[in-house]
Amino acid sequence: MTTPWIKASASNEEGSCVEMRSHDDMIEVRDTKDRGGPVLRFTRAEFAAWLDGARGREFDHLLDGA
């Protein structure tokens, strides 16, 4: 089953965001500005692990520019 591409509600009008969908039991991620470009594919377990880390703020330091 393939779901429609979705993006976060916090995305801005300038296209500074990524879109995600479920496709062939994988989670796909693409750059909104380059919809015909490359697509990153993750297993559900990989994506769930990333979401868990994001919810736990494990990656917040990446926004500090360090």
Report the sign of the C-alpha dihedral through residues 31, 26, 5, 11, in that order: negative
pLDDT on residue 66: 56
d(CA 62, CA 20): 21
d(CA 63, CA 23): 29
Q: pLDDT digit string (tens) for 25-66?
A: 999 999 988 999 999 999 999 999 999 999 999 999 998 875
- In this structure, what DSSP letter does residue 62 have? G
pLDDT on residue 11: 81
Q: Where are the domains of the chain?
A: 18-64
- 48/16: higher pLDDT: 48
- 19/10: higher pLDDT: 19
What number of CA atoms fall less than 13 Å from residue 63's CA on the CB side?
5
pLDDT on residue 15: 66
pLDDT(10) > 90: no
